[in-house]
């Protein structure tokens, strides 16, 4: 077991280090996936368990999402869902949003035609039954992921160890828990979002019918295996992106691209017809054209906040191409 260069990273709080020691193995080591689970979801030290704002532009927040654009995003989502229901009465459906922040939700402040709504906090898996629209916004990229590196013709798993009071990255024995490519260049890194696929299967295996819609950023498995030699993992703290994944554990967000292939496979395995991934721009243009047209017409002579929000959500240089949306109907 060896440690990588430039791996020593200060900044873990005494509270986090205590939780790490309690959960590490006999030599003070855990996989990166286990470290991420601890850093994001631990009831005591986890980033998503802290009672503070994480999303938005206010001081102390770390990142923004499409929901930061306000009610326009919710109106677009609601209109697109109605379109994708294909003539089914939206009042017969419960709109279930998984992964909300306290007090948040994509439909907050937006009119909608659905019978009822439910909000499920990030880190919790809901019980689902009956007619539902299951929606998420940046849920799957927030799930713990494994990290692998190619060494001497073999795959090793990257882990985290506590050495002399600091967290360091280490290389663990040969990895066997992921569908890794048989060949890759020396030092190639794959960030494998296995937990995202598990969560998708947990959601889709439940006895509900209706529409699945997931907004996120991701890549195909081929892109991950061939076109991202340093992986896709990154950290966010105070609206600054970083590759220092071990800094400030419990205080910064950790994320990687989801694998769309794995999520579409989970949907297909559980009876969803034609799972489709579209760019956010294409998704709303194809399925929520009425809201786009109404907003453009109402603000034709001025550059309003609603028009600015619409531009940010649709323009390829902003969020329109950065995010993709997976949808399927059962």
pLDDT band at 87 (very low <50, low <70, confident <90, very high): very high
Distance CA 90, CA 113 (A): 6
pTM metric for this prediction: 0.88
| CA distances, 274 to each of 208, 212, 265, 326, 327 (Å) | 17, 11, 10, 10, 9
By the 10 Å C-beta count (0-12 exposed, 13-18 middle, 19+ buried), 254 is classed as buried
Residue 67 is predicted with a pLDDT of 55
Residue 61 is predicted with a pLDDT of 61
Average pLDDT over residues 155-160: 95
pLDDT > 60? residue 251: yes
Q: Which residues touch 289 (CB under 8 Å, ≥6 apart)?
A: none
| CA distances, 65 to each of 97, 199, 320 (Å) | 15, 21, 12
Cβ contacts of 151-155, under 8 Å, gap ≥ 24? 151/186, 151/187, 152/186, 155/180, 155/184
Domains of the chain with CATH codes: 2-329 (3.40.50.12710)
The helix-helix angle for 14-23 and 32-41 (nearest 10°) equals 130
pLDDT > 50? residue 11: yes
pLDDT band at 317 (very low <50, low <70, confident <90, very high): low
Give the rounded percent of residues in the chain with a pLDDT score beyond 70. 86
216-238 residue pLDDT tens: 999 999 999 999 999 999 998 87
pLDDT > 90? residue 302: no
By the 10 Å C-beta count (0-12 exposed, 13-18 middle, 19+ buried), 113 is classed as middle
- Looking at residue 207, the DSSP 8-state letter turns out to be S
Distance CA 6, CA 4 (A): 7
Residue 186 is predicted with a pLDDT of 97
pLDDT > 60? residue 1: no
DSSP 243-290: S-TTSSTTTSEEE--EEHHHHHHHHHHTT-EEEEEEEHHHHHHHH-HH
End-to-end CA gap in the chain = 47
Of 79, 134, 82, give the one whose Cα is nearest residue 330.
Answer: 134
Residue 271 is predicted with a pLDDT of 96
194-221 residue pLDDT tens: 999 999 999 999 999 999 999 999 999 9
> Average pLDDT over the chain, rounded to whole?
87
């Amino acid at each position: 077991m060896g440690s990588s260069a430039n791996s020593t990273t200060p900044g873990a709080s005494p509270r986090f280090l205590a939780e790490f020691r309690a959960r590490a193995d006999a030599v003070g080591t855990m996989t990166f996936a286990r470290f991420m689970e601890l850093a994001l979801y631990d009831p005591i030290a986890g980033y998503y368990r802290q009672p503070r704002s994480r999303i938005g532009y206010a001081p102390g927040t770390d990142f923004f999402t499409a929901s930061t654009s306000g009610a326009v995003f919710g109106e677009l989502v609601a209109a697109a869902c109605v379109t994708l229901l294909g003539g089914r009465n939206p009042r017969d459906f419960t709109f279930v949003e998984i992964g909300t922040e306290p007090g948040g939700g994509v439909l907050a402040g937006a009119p909608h035609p659905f019978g009822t709504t439910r909000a499920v906090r990030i880190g919790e898996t809901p019980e689902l039954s009956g007619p539902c629209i299951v929606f998420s916004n940046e849920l799957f990229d927030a799930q713990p992921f494994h990290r692998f590196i190619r060494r001497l013709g073999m795959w090793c798993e990257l882990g985290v160890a506590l050495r002399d009071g600091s967290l360091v990255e280490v290389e663990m024995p040969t990895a066997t828990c992921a569908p890794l490519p048989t060949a890759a260049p020396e030092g190639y890194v794959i960030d494998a979002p296995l937990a995202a696929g598990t969560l998708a299967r947990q959601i889709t295996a439940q006895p509900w019918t209706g529409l699945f819609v997931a907004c996120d950023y991701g890549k195909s498995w081929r892109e991950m295996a061939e076109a991202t030699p340093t992986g896709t993992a990154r950290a966010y703290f105070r609206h600054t992106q970083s590759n220092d994944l071990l800094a400030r554990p419990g205080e910064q967000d950790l994320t990687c691209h989801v694998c769309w292939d794995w999520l579409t496979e989970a949907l297909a395995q559980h009876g969803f017809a034609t799972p489709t991934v579209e760019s956010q721009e294409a998704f709303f243009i194809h399925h929520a054209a009425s809201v786009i047209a109404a907003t453009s017409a109402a603000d034709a002579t001025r550059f309003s906040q609603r028009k600015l929000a619409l531009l940010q959500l649709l323009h390829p240089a902003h969020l329109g191409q950065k995010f993709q949306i997976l949808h399927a109907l059962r």
